[in-house]
Structure 1
Amino acid sequence: MDLRDTLVKVGLEKDAADALSSMPSKLVQVDPRRPFREPGSARNEVMFVRTGILCKFKSDGAGRRQIVSLRFPGEGILPSPSNADYGLQAIVRSEVMVGRDDDFYEVVAKHPSINPFLFRLVQREASISHEWLLNCGRRDSTARVAHFLCEVAARTGVEGENKVLRLPFTQQQIADITGQTSVNVNRVFAELERQQLIHREGRMIEFLDWVELQRVGSFQPDYLLGSKTLSR
């Protein structure tokens, strides 16, 4: 499904979706081995992920990285007057549509129906951020990983009993998302397998007991409700 079809599917009017998807832009192939945008970069662009996954990241004074947000295919990043306080990097090789903020604002001005659409999407992203803060701040290591697996499955449409998720994240990336070490993430995966909640084969994760995995991770998908396309 292309960007225009995705926007229409989640409720944007067809003419507005046509205008957003056809605005002047360039397609950029993003290599996961190096940052795509460094912290402090100007935010005078609008971005849509066409394929792959982008992450926002921040680093502390010692250079330790925390992944603070993800963008899946169809999702995006809006422009802002200030410089970014985060960096952008691909999780896997990704294709990103990048446009100028002036062109984006022109489209929004001509299609007022986009404004409430964007408002809902910003609200959704805030809800996801709140859930991630709770996950890292209060849940134990097993619950953090279980919750993250449930969210990825829900955001990619493969949640449910006996469904199989091809996990695109390395253990280090999962550690950078859940605020722990890669060694501990490996132990958690082993524990989830021991409890017969998942079965792992390489990066393929089969959900053996979806209901129990959600319970372990305290996962309630209501915070993901709403559009899944363009986020701040």
Structure 2
Amino acid sequence: MEHVPVQRFCEFMTPSTIELQFLDELKSDQREYRRKEVITREGEKVANVFLLRSGWVTSSFAVDSGKRNQLVKLHFPGDVLGLPSIALTKTAETLIAATPTKVDVIPIERLASMFERAPRLAFTLFLSTQQERLMLMDHLAAVSHTSAQQRVAALLMYVHRRLKLFGECSDVLDLPMSQQQIADAAGLTSVHVNRTLGELKRADLICTEGKVIRLLDIDRLEELAAFPDRASVRNPWWLTSIGQQPFMGD
């Protein structure tokens, strides 16, 4: 079922055809959003999660008594949006379409049924959340102990790797982000980001044209980013031991 965006699920195991059918049937609706349109706003009642089919989405929350929003994450096709909020009564984040975006709406009660009726998919989703936790840990460590060049390089390599996951990767990144959002994501000020991009250009690591960034030397950028060497588990024995055919009855 090529129309189901399953990149994140496929990181850890290969879903069966029936599992993909189950995933597709979880949705109650499909919605499209224009660039900068709000998908869900911080403080709303928790009712749904969203499977991102196409486009980029930003996640942010209010800081400084609501005077500004802090970008905390970029979402790409295949991501399940809104998962952190299912532990709460009100949404913890604001999700905004950074590009024209299409999502599948999954009511949380249907998401809950995945744990009973398609346990391999549920465990894979759990693994994705643990991966996100590790990424957050790495990001916090980077903000505390790395240079501005390393932080910006790490952000560029993170986007590059995520795009590579679903086959849309090249050495050209068309970032639908303002300089302030890049600064938020890298833990820097907007002025510092502008200076750092200039340093990377002078080092012949990137070139820029508007919001388009061309990666001139990916190997050197990877080295500069200094990512921890983390290899994701693939087909773990405790996951493959679970039946591949989900229970499809009511």
Same fold (TM over 0.5): yes
Task: Tell me how large the CA RMSD over aligned residues is.
Answer: 2.6
- Whether the 8 Å CA contact 2:29–2:104 is kept in 1: the answer is yes
Bigger drift between 4-13 and 165-174 goes to 4-13
Mapped to 1, the partners of 2:31 and 2:230 lie a distance apart of 33
Which among 151, 160, 171 is matched to residue 144 of structure 1? 151
Q: State the Cα deviation string for residues 206-229 of structure 1 (Å, max 9, x = none).
A: 222222212222234627x368xx
Give the corresponding residue for 1:3.
Answer: 4
Measure how far apart 1:144 and its partner are: 1.1
Give the corresponding residue for 2:75.
Answer: 71
Query: Which sections of structure 1, spanning at least 5 residues, go unmatched?
Result: 228-232
Mapped to 2, the partners of 1:33 and 1:207 lie a distance apart of 26
Is 1:212 aligned to 2:213, yes or no? no
Bigger drift between 147-156 and 22-31 goes to 22-31
Give the corresponding residue for 2:173.
Answer: 165
Mapped to 2, the partners of 1:114 and 1:5 lie a distance apart of 10
Is 1:85 aligned to 2:92, yes or no? yes
Measure how far apart 1:151 and its partner are: 0.6
Mapped to 2, the partners of 1:151 and 1:213 lie a distance apart of 11
Give the corresponding residue for 2:204.
Answer: 196
Mapped to 1, the partners of 2:7 and 2:221 lie a distance apart of 29
- Whether the 8 Å CA contact 2:41–2:93 is kept in 1: the answer is yes
Bigger drift between 213-222 and 173-182 goes to 213-222
Is 1:181 aligned to 2:162, yes or no? no
TM-score (norm 2): 0.78
- Whether the 8 Å CA contact 2:205–2:215 is kept in 1: the answer is yes
Give the corresponding residue for 1:19.
Answer: 22
Q: One-letter code of the match for 1:15?
A: I
- Whether the 8 Å CA contact 1:65–1:176 is kept in 2: the answer is no
Distance 1:25 1:195, change over 3 A: same
Distance 1:127 1:39, change over 3 A: same
Query: Which sections of structure 2, spanning at least 5 residues, go unmatched?
Result: 235-250
TM-score (norm 1): 0.84
Distance 1:177 1:45, change over 3 A: same
Give the corresponding residue for 1:55.
Answer: 58
Q: One-letter code of the match for 1:3?
A: V
Bigger drift between 164-173 and 121-130 goes to 164-173
